[in-house]
Chain A
């Protein structure tokens, strides 16, 4: 029996790095560590993409220093991606980077059937432009609200408040009785300030950075590739939502990184 004459399609999963390329990233090998971490993560990401053929993983990257620019502007299938090194120099136009991503998350060009995108913001300092306006512009986009937003702080000078604003509110504060946390489901309710990948991940050396990038590009991509439906009441009813709007349940961090604020290896940054 011939199949109906319609187009079936796997669902695109847009993975976007937002990378701080300010002058401070040139110090202590941070820029080299970031380039290396991203480059090394690509084979793992490609493996995850192959294991989930219903999702088309497409990678892009924004660099921000004096201005925000698309470092990799064309959504590139991960198995065809060759990473071109980022270069450091300038200040920190993080707000402009968010505006750039906001434009990319409009519909169109975002596809109707896209999976929730994954946005990873990596920074070692504080924004030097209007971050608040950039964040407002970003979160005005429905796809940004649906996105998995992660943040990695490189070193101890990063503005964790800003990175937390990018990620969103702590999800555990809103769970009703009976609704287990989104990660492994093993954490008991009532743990105040539980460790969560929805807090900025603090990388103080190249090893930790590489592990976080690896986790974001494999475990998170795997979770986002086959998004399991979950419960949420429509906001128009006035009912409380049971899970944070826009985020899907994330996998646990690797055992060596249970506490995002812990360090693994020597302190460098």
Chain B
């Protein structure tokens, strides 16, 4: 199954102030590729920030355990709950998962305390920390957590935007924490889920601890930073950026986790220096594999036929579009401009759209046009041709099956 998301890139760097003081880094981060019960790949990224006051002297342990417990709890939930049960996952992220993560964390820190043989009474406050997580699946992405982490999305071609931040009602450097008695109920305010469709280009997602945002002069700078950092390739580059952020900014520990959809052009799994050392044999194998894959996709697009129900759905949609006034028809197709462009880049997408005719009949009409199938009426044919021409101008390509209408 082709994953929709690349493996998340995460990095935590000790703060300049902690480095001077000889204190440990109280931030933690984790990236994990999980598998849902139906075999679909899912990416998970987590960040946690231990509290810095002297009372919380094991918070660096607490934050690491929070990431681990969060990942284990989500992995278990993926085996019990189908990814398609979106409403159920919304509830999970807001209520059930937080309670499970909290219980797991409390048990973990209690166990850690026992290992220390410390005569002082155990208190969860000693390990206090925040926790934020983002779960990226083929059909949606969701988030949850508590504390002062920030989540930013960078949609393709659009400016970065804050998705989730802690309430301004809190004072000073205060934050919600896993060590609070009511921690389990505090996740709901910071939980959410965003469905994806075949026509929706998934955004890049950045999850960071508060040290990053506090190091930027303004929120505008912070969002610009997120946009630019989301394009970084390689863990070394990300670490260098974070080191500069803490050195010239807040001095706090900093953590950043980046989730990228697979259609994003950058490839975080490859390091530039590794590319340079790629042996020619391996390069030939990769080239050969690509040719084989492209051939298979072409053949599939030519000979594969969608089920009858899907065909009926997209034909009905075509007839409906033909009955629309020209302005409405134009408006309907304009909304799908990203889809036209994406089809030019990813030819194999047309088969998937045709197979989803019942769910996305307009997408199926566009995909059929991409494969050279004539539209039910000249008006729709002309409108589709115009969209392909515009998509070509935007991307420099033209579908081979697109042709001017017969005169």
A residues in contact (CB < 8 Å) with B: 1, 3-11, 52-55, 112-113, 116, 142, 145-146, 176, 178-180, 182, 184-185, 226-237, 239, 242-243, 245-249
Category for how many chain B residues contact A: 35 or more
A9 to B170, CA, bound (A): 22
Q: Are B216 and A8 in contact (CB under 8 A)?
A: yes
Q: Are B128 and A231 in contact (CB under 8 A)?
A: yes
Chain A residues with CB under 8 Å of B237's CB are 1
Chain A residues with CB under 8 Å of B182's CB are 233, 237, 239
Binding site secondary structure of chain A: loop
A6, A182, A248: the one within 8 Å of B228 (CB) = A6
Q: Are A52 and B241 in contact (CB under 8 A)?
A: no
B residues in contact (CB < 8 Å) with A: 16-17, 49, 51-56, 123-125, 128, 130, 148, 166-177, 179-182, 185-186, 189, 210, 214-219, 221-222, 224-225, 228-229, 232, 237, 240-241, 244-245, 248-252
**7 A-B pairs whose Cβ atoms sit less than 8 Å apart in the complex:** A6-B222, A10-B249, A179-B55, A185-B55, A228-B173, A229-B174, A231-B174
Q: Are B174 and A53 in contact (CB under 8 A)?
A: no
A249 to B251, CA, bound (A): 19
A233 to B185, CA, bound (A): 10
Closest-by-CB residue of A relative to B238 is A1
A180 to B121, CA, bound (A): 12
A113, A228, A235: the one within 8 Å of B214 (CB) = A113
Chain A residues with CB under 8 Å of B174's CB are 229-232, 243, 245
Closest-by-CB residue of A relative to B128 is A231
A10 to B44, CA, bound (A): 32
Chain B residues with CB under 8 Å of A185's CB are 54-55
A216 to B169, CA, bound (A): 27
A231 to B52, CA, bound (A): 10
Chain B residues with CB under 8 Å of A249's CB are 53-55
Q: Which 6 A-B pairs have the closest CB atoms?
A: A228-B52, A54-B251, A232-B174, A4-B228, A7-B217, A228-B53
Chain B residues with CB under 8 Å of A9's CB are 215-217, 248-249
A46 to B131, CA, bound (A): 36
A228 to B211, CA, bound (A): 11
Q: Are A247 and B250 in contact (CB under 8 A)?
A: no
B53, B123, B248: the one within 8 Å of A8 (CB) = B248
B166, B189, B224: the one within 8 Å of A4 (CB) = B224
Q: Are B53 and A230 in contact (CB under 8 A)?
A: yes
> Told that A8-B244, A229-B175 touch, could you supply 10 new A-B pairs with CB distance under 8 A?
A1-B237, A6-B225, A146-B172, A226-B17, A228-B56, A229-B148, A230-B51, A231-B176, A234-B166, A235-B169
